[in-house]
Amino acid sequence: MLFEDPVLASRFLTMLTLSFHIIYATIGVGVPLMIMIAQWVGIKKNDVHYILLARRWAKGFVVTVAVGVVTGTVMGLQLSLLWPNFMELAGQIIALPLFMEVFAFFFEAIFLGIYLYTWDRFEDQRKHFFLLIPVALGAGMSALVITIVNAFMNAPQGFDIVDGQLINANPIAAMFNPAMPTKVSHVLATAYMTVAFMLAAIAAYRLLRGSNHVYHKKALYLTMKVGLIFSIATVIIGDFSGKYLAEYQPEKLAAAEWHFETEEGAPLLMYGILDENNEVKGEIKIPFALSILAFGNPTAEVIGLNEFPVEETPPLIIHYFFDLMVTIGVFMIVLSLIFWIGIKRGWNFVKAKWYRWLIVLGGPLSFLAIEAGWWMAEVGRQPWILNGIMTVEEAATSSDYVGLMSILFILLYIVLGTGTIIVLRRIFKENPVEKELKIPQGGNNA
């Protein structure tokens, strides 16, 4: 299959590259902010623990950033290699944000290089702190403009097509498309949330593995608090995304919700499975909830999937992705909220082993939610690559060797993935925080 059909192979390879890249991209967007916060708190409170926290996060961050940069480069070039027809058309209208992304990346790269190699060059920690602002800004800007490109693919506008020719191009209108506000804010909020919970998981894990140092407790409390704030933001934006979908891409919402018949006061289906006759089994039905999600009104009419031609409906599998994403999101809010209240009120169970294991679990779960969310968003606009304008079939390359290249890239991602894990483990295992705290101002470069 993979070797016969360039369209399928191109889809597979793109999915593989993106799924791998977004792990590192999420870290790349979120960690600079967390380092910034830790270093800020450290300077404000004059607490060496937070400075050390920033420093140790930065150390691990370099490893992930390098892999993020290379997989991002791969993705950037693969767009043209695998989807040449798409890039020929879309390049005329969406090149602007792509171009801006490069500049944001450039900006970030320069200051990250400076930040990482100047730990010992400034007497005043604040000078060093200021270098982080362009890094975090650049990372956020890259995420912002690259998500605009994706939003454009979901809601193309800013041009007309007459006889197959693109005319009346308006690059600015293309960027500020209807999908853009919810997409961009959701991507940013989830990236910050995920990274906060990832760092929380690390702190909780260290506490479980014997180290009872106050450093880890501070790290845990800080990251859980930041995670809580961003997970609440995520839910609010997620609700807006639902309303966006109901208005502009109703077929995606309907497929994600297995909502077949157009009706008023539509219920929301959670979980369940779909049998061969498209009958839903074992679901939890929440009355009126879908109408509320879609229009903020329990009796509003929600368009069902049956209204769309079969060849234009997305695969129904996205319901599972949607469930996974929402369930994890809600779980993380509850987990971090209870933790936060628990610390304030002195509930002892939030310091218990089982609770800390749940926090450890929260790290990988958050990444799973990120993946599931992207799969839902991307599979949910099948069969289109440019919604309503160009299908993935028309966009893919005609070259025969995509299947073969896919195998090479699978090998590459295995090497990069295991390499990351091995190197990160080595950096931190050989250098536990207790050891580093004994050297008052020492440490090597980066």
Residues 384-443 close enough to bind another protein by CB under 8 A: 397-399, 401-402, 405, 408-409, 412, 415-416, 419-420, 422-423, 426-427
Q: For residues 328 and 365, give the distance between their C-alpha atoms in angstroms, rounded to a whole number.
A: 7
Q: For residues 30 and 38, give the distance between their C-alpha atoms in angstroms, rounded to a whole number.
A: 13
Near another protein by CB under 8 A: residue from 15, 41, 87, 337:
87
Near another protein by CB under 8 A: residue from 7, 41, 47, 92:
92
Taking the complex as a whole, the smallest distance from the CB of residue 32 to another protein amounts, in Å, to: 14
Taking the complex as a whole, the smallest distance from the CB of residue 257 to another protein amounts, in Å, to: 36
Strands 280-281 and 273-274: antiparallel
Pair 249, 381: CB distance under 8 Å? yes
Nearer to another protein, 99 or 271 (CB): 99
Q: For residues 198 and 50, give the distance between their C-alpha atoms in angstroms, rounded to a whole number.
A: 17
**39 near another protein (CB under 8 A):** no
**85 near another protein (CB under 8 A):** yes
Which stretch in 57-65, 211-219, 274-282, 287-295 sits in contact with another protein by CB under 8 A? 57-65
Count the site residues for another protein by CB under 8 A.
Answer: 79
Taking the complex as a whole, the smallest distance from the CB of residue 445 to another protein amounts, in Å, to: 9
Q: What token pair was written down for 101?
A: 């992304």
Near another protein by CB under 8 A: residue from 49, 55, 59, 381:
59
Near another protein by CB under 8 A: residue from 116, 280, 316, 361:
116
**235 near another protein (CB under 8 A):** no
**Cα distances (Å, whole numbers) of residue 444 to 289, 420, 429, 431:** 55, 21, 16, 12
**Cα distances (Å, whole numbers) of residue 381 to 9, 127, 178:** 18, 46, 15
Near another protein by CB under 8 A: residue from 23, 31, 54, 67:
67
What would the x/- binding string for another protein be over residues 134 to 173, using CB under 8 A? x-------------------------------xx-xxxx-
Near another protein by CB under 8 A: residue from 48, 80, 160, 278:
80
What would the x/- binding string for another protein be over residues 12 to 31, using CB under 8 A? --------------------
**Residues 6 or more apart in contact with residue 328 via CB below 8 angstroms:** 365, 366, 368, 369, 372
Q: What token pair was written down for 43?
A: 């300077």
Q: Which helix (H) or strand (E) holds 264?
A: strand 263-264
Taking the complex as a whole, the smallest distance from the CB of residue 442 to another protein amounts, in Å, to: 11
Bridge partner residues of 303 (DSSP): none
Q: For residues 305 and 252, give the distance between their C-alpha atoms in angstroms, rounded to a whole number.
A: 9
**232 near another protein (CB under 8 A):** no
Taking the complex as a whole, the smallest distance from the CB of residue 301 to another protein amounts, in Å, to: 39
Q: For residues 92 and 284, give the distance between their C-alpha atoms in angstroms, rounded to a whole number.
A: 46
Near another protein by CB under 8 A: residue from 113, 287, 296, 364:
113
Q: For residues 332 and 341, give the distance between their C-alpha atoms in angstroms, rounded to a whole number.
A: 14
Taking the complex as a whole, the smallest distance from the CB of residue 173 to another protein amounts, in Å, to: 10
Alpha helices in 83-211 (DSSP H): 84-116, 125-130, 132-154, 171-175, 180-208
Taking the complex as a whole, the smallest distance from the CB of residue 438 to another protein amounts, in Å, to: 20
Pair 389, 154: CB distance under 8 Å? no
**99 near another protein (CB under 8 A):** yes
Near another protein by CB under 8 A: residue from 22, 89, 187, 303:
89
